[in-house]
Amino acid sequence: MKLKFLLRLIGPIIFIILIYFYVDLQELKKIIFALKWPFFGISAALNPILIYLRSHRWRIILTGYGITYSEWQCYTSILHGIENNN
């Protein structure tokens, strides 16, 4: 059980180390303050909706080929695809 917990910490620790050594935090702060927050908020709010619509479209396409997935299976498949492409 401890080993599983420690393995889960490796990713965030590596991420924090990379941020610390490779990102200029002052420049990042300037970028965040210069962000146009209304546009960012709208895009952040629309993103899950657009992912859902994409997954629903794929569910319809797969149903045409006789493959039945639940909405949740299609949604998680789309999320995995997005995650793996980034």
pLDDT digits (tens, 9 = 90+) for 41-56: 999 999 999 989 999 9
Q: What residues make up the domain containing 11?
A: 1-34
Q: Judge whether residue 39 has pLDDT over 90.
A: yes
- 83 and 43 within one domain: yes
- 56 and 84 within one domain: yes
Q: Judge whether residue 30 has pLDDT over 90.
A: yes
- 40 and 9 within one domain: no
- 43 and 84 within one domain: yes
Q: Count of domains in the chain?
A: 2
How many CA atoms lie less than 13 Å away from 22 in the CB half-sphere?
A: 6
pLDDT score at 38: 92
pLDDT score at 1: 65
78 in Cβ contact with 47 (< 8 Å): no
